[in-house]
Amino acid sequence: MINQKQGYGTSFPGPLAKSPAMVRFLNLALRIAKADATILITGETGSGKERVARLIHEQSPRAAGPWVAVNCAAISESLLESELFGHARGAFTGAIRDRPGLFESAQHGTLLLDEMGDVSPAMQVKLLRVIQEREVRRMGENTDRTVDVRIIATTHRDLAEEVALGTFRQDLYYRLNVLALRVPPLRDRREDILPLAQALLGNAALRMRRQLAGFGPGVAARLLQHDWPGNVRELENAMERCAALALGNQVQELDLPEEVRSGRTRLSPVRGSVQPMELTIKEHILAALAMNQGNQTLTARQLQIGPSTLYRKLKSYGIVGQTGEVGLAQGQPTDLPSAS
């Protein structure tokens, strides 16, 4: 099961999950981790694909082996071949000694091929051979070396569409797409926004040696209203900004990036989709509660509903504890995020 209280930031490689969509996703990821097969993880830029891949490695039978990651889009084709497969001395100018590649370095462990969709057609052919044969040949050598590596590939591209367009090899796609995962975008798991913001603010404050008690009035509502097109990466950047700019011990609205402060309300449809009315009501209630620092009486009055009605709603959302108080961890006066 997923520990829903774990953080998401530099101190913890795996994702936090409170929303049903992310809980289902991570439970599937943990099941997949036990099967020693190639995995293709897709998702929008900044959604946390690499962190999911790292979590899978740590929960897999190969956890004791090495974890090796390479961003295929950040390295030129000629350098990428040497990085992945290694080279012999004299294979090219500057190759002054034999050097093993990342496939060999990841022996008995996991190799993450990040942004696999950006690999050139020529490199796709070479990678297909390695995945099929489980053998690598260093540049400048004629000897094949057997490798025992689990491959996890990630991409923000739709590889099925790339195959249809002829820019990605169909046979390589099938080799990679043995077990497939798609990370939900942050806008589709609203329940995760505030806990993620809390964890990321805490990490940023710790790095900057700041003492922050959490969010001031209106901040949580702004975070919930924003679409987060850059996903968790954008939220992480926003929290780093807040940790750097906060004048007191709380983050205020003016500390947020402009696009977050001036964002449109979540009550309008997003990207042409219309969400169920009950989900819209839930988001509106939680945003109002966050704006009021967890004060249920004031929130009920502003929503023009009875306190008992609000209580039943919060209980159905799993937010009200046995004491009747709102989500309160470690004696905090409200359920708003706090940094440590």
Going from the N-terminus, what domains does the chain have, and what CATH number goes with each?
20-183 (3.40.50.300), 189-316 (1.10.8.60)
- Please, is 152 exposed, middle or buried when counting C-beta atoms within 10 Å of its C-beta (0-12, 13-18, 19+)? buried
Q: What angle do CA 307, 311, 314 make, to 5 degrees?
A: 140
Q: What pLDDT score does 91 carry?
A: 74
Report the pLDDT averaged over residues 229-240.
95
Contact 42, 176 (CB under 8 A): no
Strand partners of residue 68:
111
For residue 1, name the pLDDT band (cuts at 50, 70, 90). very low
Q: What angle do CA 235, 63, 70 make, to 5 degrees?
A: 55
For residue 102, name the pLDDT band (cuts at 50, 70, 90). very high
Report the pLDDT averaged over residues 273-293.
71
> Around Cβ 123, how many Cβ atoms within 10 Å?
18
Q: What pLDDT score does 333 carry?
A: 31
Q: What pLDDT score does 322 carry?
A: 41
Report the pLDDT averaged over residues 87-101.
83
Averaged pLDDT score across all residues of the chain: 83
Q: What pLDDT score does 272 carry?
A: 46
- Report the distance separating Cα 107 and Cα 96, nearest Å: 24
Strands (E), the chain: 39-42, 67-71, 86-87, 99-100, 110-114, 135-137, 144-146, 150-155, 179-182, 214-215, 250-251
What's at 257, amino acid-wise? P
- Report the distance separating Cα 240 and Cα 229, nearest Å: 17
Q: What pLDDT score does 16 carry?
A: 72
Q: If DSSP states are collapsed to H, E and C, what string results for 213-230?
A: CEECCCHHHHHHHCCCCC
Cα dihedral angle (48, 53, 55, 57), rounded to 10 degrees? Answer: -170
Report the pLDDT averaged over residues 311-328.
62
Least confident of 91-95, 166-170, 204-208, 330-334: 330-334
User: Sign of the CA dihedral 30, 197, 232, 71?
Assistant: negative
pTM confidence score: 0.73
Condensed to tens digits (0 to 9), the pLDDT of residues 14-62 reads: 467 889 999 999 999 999 999 999 999 999 999 999 999 999 999 999 9
